[in-house]
Amino acid sequence: MTDPRWFVAALAGFTNMTTARLAALLNHRTPEAAFAAAAGHTDPTDALASMFERSPGLRAHWQRSGTERDPEAVGRACERLGVSVVLPDDDAYPRILVDDPQRPAVLFMQGDPAALAQRRVGIVGTRNPTQQGLQTAVRFGHELSAAGVGVVSGLAKGIDGAAHRGALAVVGSKPIAVVANGHGQPYPKRHATLWAEVAERGIIVSEWPPGTAPDAFRFPQRNRILAALSEIIVVVESRERGGSLITAQLAAERGIDVFAVPGPVTARSSIGTNQLIRDGAAVATDPDDVVLALGLDGRRAGRVRYDARARPRGSESVVLELCRREPRDVEGVSEQLGCSIAEAAMLLARLERSGWLCETGGWFEAVDEWAVYL
């Protein structure tokens, strides 16, 4: 006999299936009956017929999906990947989501469910961060994990991946990822190893069955789960628009505290975070700010480390401090120091060779010890 959960798993992968539609199908229906109704194996009820009338083409899409998505095959695919299909009535379903206004009708979870029982902080931000933003995300991920906090993020490139790399550098950490596609197809592909490490140490949560593509509309839906699973959301870097601001808004709507890492007022990568602070978000300049907000005392946790780089001296230390404030180019350093272009270029080159600066497109940024995890 086919596991009833597998009918829900198959339904979740139907074309144009949404959280609300799946919940409506399962309302007062068994999973088997819901699948039969959506696939056109039985006559639609008045409510389902009305849904089809409001969305021309939906009925045909679902009938086709019903022939393409065999519940048994979907369930077996989950088993092969070690993915659990979890419904709201199951013990493994996160209790924090049970009363959520947009509760997922099904979750696909790979890894250790115990990861969801720890204190949890979401770390999010832009996919196109500065080097300083990446290092900040690594630091927050590392130090929060060292304080016993589970880091929640989306495994996307940029801030998300950096936060999880920092978390994984702590022995015994259990990071949590909420993704916008199905298991078995890591996205982005460059994060395949990172996905595997998070699944092995912590847990990866998705709302869609294995093989589901990372379509654009799935990311805002994913963000509500990421927000709801977090006790605090920290936005490290964000431009004026983006998914991290959506996550912050979804968190605020749920009464979840939002922290933002401030950045230079001239930096586009900090427009969103600075706006959040202006609108009332708490300021996070150090992981301790977040740890203490959770009622924990993890100050200095995991911070004792040795930096083997030779210490800059004289003009080099001045240049390094300038680049720590914001990225600089050769002309800018020359102007600030009142020296020639050639001398400024030489100072920047020395700092880059010794590992204190990195250059991108002619702009130099400071590199701190957290960069070793990137």
Q: What pLDDT sits at residue 241?
A: 87
* Angle, alpha carbons 354-357-362 (nearest 5°): 125
Model pLDDT, residue 237: 95
User: Tens digits of per-residue pLDDT, 184-209?
Assistant: 999 999 999 999 999 999 999 999 99
285 touches 259 (CB < 8 A):
no
If DSSP codes are grouped into helix, strand and coil, which group holds residue 109? strand
User: In the CATH scheme, what is the code of domain 315-366?
Assistant: 1.10.10
Per-residue model confidence (pLDDT) at position 310: 72
Q: Is the pLDDT of residue 371 over 70?
A: no
CA 222 to chain centre: 9
Quote the pTM value: 0.81
What pLDDT score was predicted for residue 45? 85
Return the domain boundaries, the chain. 4-72, 109-294, 315-366
- Residues 117-134 pLDDT 10s: 999 999 999 999 998 899
Task: Say which CATH topology domain 109-294 has.
Answer: Rossmann fold (3.40.50)
Kindly indicate the confidence band of residue 240, based on its pLDDT and cuts at 50, 70 and 90: confident
pLDDT at 304: 43
Residues 167 and 194: beta-carbon distance below 8 Å = no
State the residue for tokens 């006790």: 231
Supply the pLDDT for residue 302. Answer: 47
230 — pLDDT class (breaks 50, 70, 90): very high
Q: How confident is the model at residue 353 (pLDDT cuts 50, 70, 90)?
A: confident
Alpha-carbon dihedral 269, 275, 281, 284, rounded to 10 degrees: 30
Instruction: Supply 183's token pair.
Output: 């298991």
DSSP label at 57? Answer: T
In the predicted structure, residue 233 carries a pLDDT above the cut 90:
yes
Closest alpha carbon to 251 in 237, 269, 233: 233
pLDDT in tens, 14-69: 999 999 999 999 998 999 999 999 999 998 888 898 999 999 899 999 999 999 99
Q: Which residue has the higher pLDDT, 341 or 301?
A: 341
Please, are residues 235 and 227 in contact by the beta-carbon 8 Å criterion? Answer: no
Average pLDDT score over residue span 3-9: 96
pLDDT number for residue 372: 57
Q: What is the per-residue pLDDT across 131-164, written as a single tens digit (0 to 9) for each?
A: 889 999 999 999 999 999 999 999 999 999 999 9
Predicted confidence at residue 46, as pLDDT, reads 83
How many C-alpha atoms does 229 have within 13 Å on its Cβ side? Answer: 31
Condensed to tens digits (0 to 9), the pLDDT of residues 74-111 reads 999 999 999 999 999 999 999 999 999 999 999 999 99
**The predicted structure's pLDDT at residue 306:** 45
Mean pLDDT of the chain: 92
Check pLDDT > 70 for residue 175.
Answer: yes
Q: What is the pLDDT of residue 106?
A: 98
Percentage of the chain modeled with pLDDT above 70: 95
- Tell me the C-alpha distance between 178 and 278, whole Å: 28
- Three-state SS at 167: helix
